[in-house]
Amino acid sequence: MIRMMLRAAAATLLLLAAHPVLRAQEVRVVDGQRYTVHTVVAGQTLYGISRHYAVPLDALMKANPAAAQGLSIGQVLLVPQQAVERKELRGAPKFRATGELVHTVARRETLFGIAQRYGVEQTDLIARNPELAGGLRTGMELVIPPATAKDVPAVAATPARRDSSRTHLVQAGETLFGLGKLYGVSVEALQQANGGLAEGLRVGTYLRIPRPAAPAPVPEDTLRRPVRYRIGLLLPLCLDRNDSVHAADPDHKGLYEVTRIAGQFLAGAQMAIDSMARKGMRLEVHLYDVGEDAATWGPVLRKGEIRTMDLFIGPFHRGAIDQLAAVSREAHIVCPVPQSNKVILGHPQVSKVVSGRTEQVRHMARYAATRFARENLVLLRPDLPAEKDLQDQVQRAVQTALADRPDRLRDSLLVARPGKRDLGDLTAKLDPARLNVLLAPSEDVEFVSTLVTRLRPLVGKYRITVFGMPAWTNMDVLESADLAELDLHVPAAAHADRSSPAVRSFVERFRTAYGTDAGPYAFLGFDVTMFYLTALQEEGPGFAERMDRVLTEPLHMGFRMRRLGLENGFGNESAVMLEYRDQGIHVVR
């Protein structure tokens, strides 16, 4: 049986796909004192965190007794604002994505002075930063090696490690005995993992919860029983916001936009849940409205029942995912909407399912090189400094793919350098006897517009296929007829082909069930939920490392999940190729 914990208004349908919200640094008040909340990521050290926030190391450790046992990835620390040394804060170092501490060289600083400031030897600084061989320059970023810092305890210089402990935010009325029962650990184990807790529990602080003792063996007959999985749908329904919009304007038509998008996602997810239930999967589904800000999602994510889930689909916002990842270390968390790869950094249990521009460009380059290896491949490299890295990326991907094609026309693709107002040397590189496949990795509207305008008259003389960027589909200066004439191909994270029988069937069933048309987020909700429920059913709760075995029939996207580093979560490398034709835009099979 499927139990949906819904507010009555949510049953109306349509949710939303949330605008990405930038997470502000959370501030917590404990016993009248203000603390900045910091979530530890891979590579960070206590010493580095103290220098980043300009607080003395002993003050940081006193505010976080559990840190005396060493840092864990995902651990939450409270940084006492009253201990901040204002003079040091002005030039405080920052963190790299790897968690290492970085100092930006200011005017008149010397290598000796920097080494003294961080308590490290100059030789250690030079060894960690080989670029210093060319001299110290203003604006340089130097990585500080914490392990060599003098007078720093070993525990403070040791990078955060991965362990099986959890983090718990202490609530009013909680006791060590009660928390021990909740997590299945002894009071003594809780005290030992948190520096002894000489001051007892303090509301608003964070505890490290150690791994409980191994459970007793499960009787064999129990193993044969069907498993019931608990699924958490954490969606920004914004029901209160939707209600307030209508209260302020009773004549307002439709739903608050975020509510509409989340509703579409929920409706698609519900259809996938129903499908899996018909296949015999036993599910207990809990729906939570996590809103658009920490004031709404914070109380939800602190619920004790959150820790009992086997899988989370959502939240949409990076800040909410960071907080959930700190609370739930075991259950897999799916970020189902576009986000940067930062959302999976330091979170090995998180998946980001919508591929980004980098993955889409690589897909485009591989497809072009594989499909057209025997044709005249030409990379367009206009003099646009801001797009040099993008051009390099495409060139490398094409060259790598060509190396695997023994039937390739030539070992390397040609390079042409058109300008913003003319084709430059491109015309001289066109082959009248072959198909000319032009790779144009540019998002510069002026260049793209000129390129399309100048190429159109050449179509009668040459056979041309152009590969462009996803941004081309939103450029108002381009006409669909012109793009179809140039046989434009662009990559995309997903696309629902309305001519597909499977898509048509889904659209009809969706309208019958909900009385409205299925939009992009309905397809997203269905495909994502179907893939991860299938993974859970076929591979169990530890499915993350075996997602390559999971095969579904998605409606509008693919799933090729790959872990992006040992300490990080999974990104989706899959994309689709779209082709402009006279009849519209079609997915290239």
> What are the pLDDT digits (tens) for 437-477?
999 999 999 999 999 999 999 998 999 999 999 888 888 88
Q: What CATH code is carried by the domain that includes residue 415?
A: 3.40.50.2300
Region of poorest pLDDT, from 247-256, 372-381, 433-442: 247-256
Which residue type occupies 150?
A: K
Instruction: In whole angstroms, give the CA distance from residue 398 to residue 379.
Output: 9
Contacts of 419 by beta carbon, 8 Å cutoff, 6+ apart: 382, 383, 450
Instruction: In whole angstroms, give the CA distance from residue 585 to residue 580.
Output: 5
Given a cut of 70, whether residue 523 has pLDDT beyond it is yes
Given a cut of 80, whether residue 277 has pLDDT beyond it is yes
Instruction: In whole angstroms, give the CA distance from residue 48 to residue 51.
Output: 5
Query: 46: closest CA among 146, 129, 117, 170?
Result: 146
**Rounded mean pLDDT, 420-428:** 90
Backbone φ/ψ region at 574: left (φ over 0), alpha (ψ -120 to 50), beta:
beta
What pLDDT is attached to residue 430?
94
What pLDDT is attached to residue 379?
94
Identify whether 230 is part of a domain.
Answer: no
Identify whether 328 is part of a domain.
Answer: no
Instruction: In whole angstroms, give the CA distance from residue 309 to residue 328.
Output: 9
Identify whether 444 is part of a domain.
Answer: yes
**Rounded mean pLDDT, 514-539:** 93
Tokens of 266: 């929920």
Final residue in a domain of this structure, among 492, 513, 538: 492
Final residue in a domain of this structure, among 180, 209, 238: 209
What spatial distance separates the first Cα and last Cα of the chain, rounded to whole Å? 38
The whole domain housing 442 covers: 358-492
Given a cut of 50, whether residue 142 has pLDDT beyond it is yes
Query: 383: closest CA among 428, 425, 437?
Result: 425
Instruction: In whole angstroms, give the CA distance from residue 289 to residue 86.
Output: 40
Given a cut of 90, whether residue 402 has pLDDT beyond it is no
Final residue in a domain of this structure, among 175, 209, 243: 209
Identify whether 342 is part of a domain.
Answer: no
State residue 502 phi and psi, 5-degree precision. -65, -40
Identify whether 416 is part of a domain.
Answer: yes
DSSP code string of 136-180: --TT-EEEE-GGG-TT--HHHHSPPB--S-EEEE--TT--HHHHH
Q: Tell me if the pTM is above 0.75.
A: no
Q: Model confidence at 289, in pLDDT bands (50, 70, 90)?
A: very high
% residues pLDDT > 90 (the chain): 32
45 close to 84: Cβ distance less than 8 angstroms: no
Tokens of 588: 């290239």
Please write the tens of the pLDDT for every residue from 528-579.
Answer: 999 999 999 998 888 988 888 888 889 988 899 888 877 889 999 888 888 8
State residue 50 phi and psi, 5-degree precision. -65, -40
Length, in residues, of the chain:
589
Query: 145: closest CA among 161, 124, 130?
Result: 124
Instruction: In whole angstroms, give the CA distance from residue 339 to residue 330.
Output: 22
- Bridge-based pairing of strands 414-416 and 584-587 is unpaired
435 close to 465: Cβ distance less than 8 angstroms: yes
3-class SS of residue 331: coil
Place of tokens 């198909």: 435
CA distances from 96 to 45, 93, 433 (A): 12, 10, 51
Identify whether 111 is part of a domain.
Answer: yes
Contacts made by residues 115-122, CB under 8 angstroms, sequence distance 24+: 118/51, 118/144, 118/149, 119/149, 119/150, 119/151, 119/152, 120/144, 120/145, 120/148, 120/149, 120/150, 121/148
Q: Model confidence at 24, in pLDDT bands (50, 70, 90)?
A: very low
Q: Model confidence at 1, in pLDDT bands (50, 70, 90)?
A: very low
Q: Model confidence at 12, in pLDDT bands (50, 70, 90)?
A: very low
Given a cut of 50, whether residue 110 has pLDDT beyond it is yes
Identify whether 106 is part of a domain.
Answer: yes
Please write the tens of the pLDDT for every residue from 356-365.
Answer: 888 888 888 8
Q: Model confidence at 14, in pLDDT bands (50, 70, 90)?
A: very low
Tokens of 450: 């000129």
3-class SS of residue 566: coil
- Structural domains in the chain (count): 2
| Beta pairing partners, 414 | 378
Tokens of 293: 């800000």
189 close to 200: Cβ distance less than 8 angstroms: no
Q: Can you give 512-562 as a three-state secondary structure string?
A: HHHCCCCCHHHHHHHHHHHHHHHHHHHHCCCHHHHHHHCCCCCCCCCCCEE
Instruction: In whole angstroms, give the CA distance from residue 319 to residue 343.
Output: 9
Q: Can you give 241-282 as a three-state secondary structure string?
A: HHHHHHHHCCCCCCCCHHHHHHHHHHHHHHHHHHHHHHCCCE
Identify whether 15 is part of a domain.
Answer: no
Q: Model confidence at 250, in pLDDT bands (50, 70, 90)?
A: low
Contacts of 399 by beta carbon, 8 Å cutoff, 6+ apart: 369, 412, 413
State residue 378 phi and psi, 5-degree precision. -130, 125
